[in-house]
């Protein structure tokens, strides 16, 4: 009798433990992720009447997202900037990841720490540092004038889309190294040795074995750089000027000055759809390269 009771007790305790284990994560993810995102989508279909959740049901917000030429300009600019930043980041990070995987030796730990450290320092300060570099009376201008390359400071450095690309590529540099490094690290050494044994030159081994095998890492790197840059707000605001407004600034304006939350929500849904497309394309490409994840 008592054995049965204690077994019942312990199974109740086990169930309680499992419940307690699931509770915090379930509350946080279901409320803060799922419910909050559902509310954004819901709001995107509402009419702006000044109240928190709007009124009625409408496709008008999406219609104006799709038909306003300003939105197209800004969206295309955001996609172009994010694509350029992604390409620049991945291309410059790849050799670093390659060195880490095959040549770093005892210095690997130190280099890994050095390239990931900026990730843990203030993003705002890193962008601000570029403003200091590019400003009219800033570091680059004073250096160019001081060295006689320019007779007077130029305005052409700050407040341009190019400044946004450089700053973002620099700010997200570290994001790309880690996924590529992990992918290179997990390539079986025997495959590379087999290729070399069969007479492939180092360049051929790289092109035919290492590069295709590291593509899942390259795609993951592209994704983690593309997603935050396409919706970035801080960098265009600090170093971009009016000629490089991005979609993040447009969304922010709807929740700020313009005070049209449903339209802002529709813009946000559009951005999430674009990101979803990019994720699906990346996943499709990943499968083509024979995903190992």
Partner 1 sequence: MSGSTTGSEAGRWLGVYVLVYILFLYLPVSLIPIFSFNDSIQAAFPLQGFTTAWYSTLLGNSALSGALVNSLAVGFVAASAATLCGITIAYADLHGRSSFSTAISNLARLPILIPGVIVGIALLILINLVGLGPSRTAIVFGHILVALPTTVVIMRGRFSAIPKSIPEAALDLGASDFATFRRVMLPLSLPAIGSAFMLAFLISFDEFIVAFFLAGTEPTLPLYIWAQLRFPKSLPTVMALGTVILAGSILIAAAAELLRRRGLSGGARHALPATA
Q: 146 to 205, contacts with partner 1 by CB under 8 A?
A: 146, 170, 173-174, 202
| 117 vs 194, beta carbon nearer partner 1 | 117
Residue ranges in the chain assigned as alpha helix (H): 2-28, 36-44, 60-67, 69-102, 108-116, 123-134, 139-146, 161-171, 173-185, 189-197, 202-205, 211-230, 234-235, 247-255, 261-288
Taking the complex as a whole, how short is the minimal distance between the CB of residue 63 and partner 1, in angstroms?
20
Look up residue 147 and give its DSSP letter: T
What is the rounded CA–CA span in Å between residue 198 and residue 179?
29
Selected from 65, 115, 222, 225, the binder of partner 1 by CB under 8 A is 115
Phi, psi of 226 (to 5 degrees): -65, -45
Looking at the DSSP bridge assignments, the partners of residue 55 are 47
- Applying CB under 8 A, the span of 10-18, 69-77, 156-164, 211-219 interacting with partner 1 comes to 10-18
b (16+ CB within 10 A) / e for 100-121: bbeebeeeeeeebeebeebeee
Taking the complex as a whole, how short is the minimal distance between the CB of residue 56 and partner 1, in angstroms?
17
Among residue numbers 252 through 291, which ones bind partner 1 (CB under 8 A)? 252, 255, 261, 264-265, 268, 271-272, 275, 279
Selected from 36, 63, 273, 280, the binder of partner 1 by CB under 8 A is 36
Q: CA 214 → CA 35, 158, 193, 257, 289, distances in Å?
A: 37, 36, 16, 46, 9
Among residue numbers 75 through 104, which ones bind partner 1 (CB under 8 A)? 92, 95-96, 98-99, 102-103
Phi-psi region of 159 (alpha: psi -120 to 50; beta: other; left: phi over 0): left
Taking the complex as a whole, how short is the minimal distance between the CB of residue 215 and partner 1, in angstroms?
19
How many residues make contact with partner 1 (CB under 8 A)?
Answer: 89
What is the rounded CA–CA span in Å between residue 157 and residue 145?
13
- Applying CB under 8 A, the span of 59-67, 121-129, 155-163, 285-293 interacting with partner 1 comes to 121-129
| 5 vs 125, beta carbon nearer partner 1 | 125
Taking the complex as a whole, how short is the minimal distance between the CB of residue 136 and partner 1, in angstroms?
10
Residue 62 as a binder of partner 1 (CB under 8 A): the answer is no
Selected from 129, 162, 200, 211, the binder of partner 1 by CB under 8 A is 129
């Amino acid at each position: 009798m008592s054995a049965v009771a204690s077994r019942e007790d312990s199974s109740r305790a086990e169930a309680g433990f499992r419940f307690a284990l699931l509770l915090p994560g379930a509350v946080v993810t279901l409320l803060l992720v799922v419910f909050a995102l559902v509310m954004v989508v819901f709001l995107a279909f509402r009419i702006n009447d000044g109240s928190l959740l709007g009124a009625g049901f409408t496709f008008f917000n999406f219609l104006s997202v799709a038909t306003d030429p300003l939105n197209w300009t800004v969206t295309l600019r955001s996609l172009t900037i994010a694509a350029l930043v992604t390409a620049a980041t991945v291309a410059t990070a790849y050799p670093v990841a390659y060195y880490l995987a095959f040549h770093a030796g005892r210095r690997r730990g130190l280099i890994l720490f050095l390239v990931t450290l900026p990730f843990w320092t203030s993003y705002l300060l890193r962008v601000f540092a570029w403003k200091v570099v590019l400003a009219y009376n800033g570091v680059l201008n004073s250096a160019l004038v001081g060295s006689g390359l320019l007779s007077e400071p130029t305005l052409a450095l700050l407040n341009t889309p190019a400044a946004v690309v450089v700053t973002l590529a620099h700010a997200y540099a570290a994001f790309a190294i880690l996924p590529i490094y992990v992918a290179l690290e997990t390539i079986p050494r025997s495959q590379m040795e087999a290729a070399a044994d069969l007479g492939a030159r180092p360049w051929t081994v790289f092109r035919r074995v290492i590069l295709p095998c590291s593509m899942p890492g390259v795609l993951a790197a592209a994704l983690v750089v593309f997603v935050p840059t396409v919706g970035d707000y801080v960098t265009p605001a600090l170093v971009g000027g009016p000629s490089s407004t991005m979609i993040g600034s447009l969304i922010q304006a709807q929740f700020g000055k313009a005070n049209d939350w449903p339209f802002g929500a529709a813009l946000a849904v559009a951005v999430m759809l674009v990101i979803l497309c990019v994720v699906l394309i990346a996943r499709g490409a990943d499968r083509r390269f024979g995903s190992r994840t």
